[in-house]
Amino acid sequence: MDKERAHEIISSTGMINVTYNGAPIYINSINDEKGTATVYPIDQPKNMQEVSLTSLSE
Protein backbone atom coordinates (compact mmCIF):
# COMPACT_ATOMS: atom_id res chain seq x y z
CA MET A 1 0.00 0.00 0.00
CA ASP A 2 1.30 3.47 -0.73
CA LYS A 3 1.38 6.15 1.94
CA GLU A 4 -1.22 8.34 0.24
CA ARG A 5 -3.78 5.53 0.36
CA ALA A 6 -2.87 4.74 3.96
CA HIS A 7 -3.55 8.38 4.87
CA GLU A 8 -6.91 8.23 3.06
CA ILE A 9 -7.84 5.12 5.04
CA ILE A 10 -6.79 6.54 8.40
CA SER A 11 -8.80 9.73 7.67
CA SER A 12 -11.90 7.86 6.54
CA THR A 13 -14.99 7.89 8.73
CA GLY A 14 -16.01 4.45 7.47
CA MET A 15 -14.41 1.08 8.11
CA ILE A 16 -12.09 0.03 5.27
CA ASN A 17 -10.82 -3.54 5.25
CA VAL A 18 -7.02 -3.68 5.48
CA THR A 19 -4.94 -6.78 6.16
CA TYR A 20 -1.42 -7.56 7.32
CA ASN A 21 -0.22 -11.11 6.62
CA GLY A 22 -3.81 -12.02 5.82
CA ALA A 23 -5.21 -10.83 9.17
CA PRO A 24 -7.59 -7.86 9.41
CA ILE A 25 -5.91 -4.89 11.09
CA TYR A 26 -6.58 -1.31 12.15
CA ILE A 27 -4.09 1.41 11.18
CA ASN A 28 -3.36 3.50 14.26
CA SER A 29 -0.73 5.87 12.82
CA ILE A 30 1.61 6.38 9.88
CA ASN A 31 5.29 7.33 9.86
CA ASP A 32 5.92 8.94 6.45
CA GLU A 33 9.68 9.23 6.94
CA LYS A 34 10.13 5.53 7.67
CA GLY A 35 7.34 4.29 5.36
CA THR A 36 5.74 2.38 8.22
CA ALA A 37 2.43 2.18 10.04
CA THR A 38 1.57 1.29 13.60
CA VAL A 39 -1.18 -1.30 13.37
CA TYR A 40 -3.02 -3.81 15.51
CA PRO A 41 -5.29 -6.77 14.81
CA ILE A 42 -8.96 -5.75 14.92
CA ASP A 43 -9.63 -8.09 17.85
CA GLN A 44 -6.36 -7.34 19.76
CA PRO A 45 -5.96 -3.57 20.25
CA LYS A 46 -3.16 -4.09 22.81
CA ASN A 47 -1.02 -5.95 20.24
CA MET A 48 0.38 -2.92 18.35
CA GLN A 49 3.30 -3.30 16.01
CA GLU A 50 5.14 -1.19 13.47
CA VAL A 51 5.09 -2.64 9.96
CA SER A 52 6.09 -1.55 6.48
CA LEU A 53 3.32 0.14 4.50
CA THR A 54 4.17 -2.14 1.59
CA SER A 55 3.13 -5.16 3.67
CA LEU A 56 -0.44 -3.86 4.04
CA SER A 57 -3.19 -4.90 1.63
CA GLU A 58 -6.63 -3.53 0.99
Domains annotated on the chain, with CATH: 3-57 (2.30.30)
Residue 30's alpha-carbon distances to 9, 20, 44, 52, in angstroms, are 11, 14, 19, 10
**Rounded CA gap, 48 and 40, in Å?**
5
pLDDT band at residue 53 using 50, 70 and 90 as cut-offs: very high
Grade residue 24 by pLDDT with cuts at 50, 70 and 90.
very high
CB-neighbour burial class of residue 2 (10 A; exposed 0-12, middle 13-18, buried 19+) = exposed
Average pLDDT over residues 30-56: 97
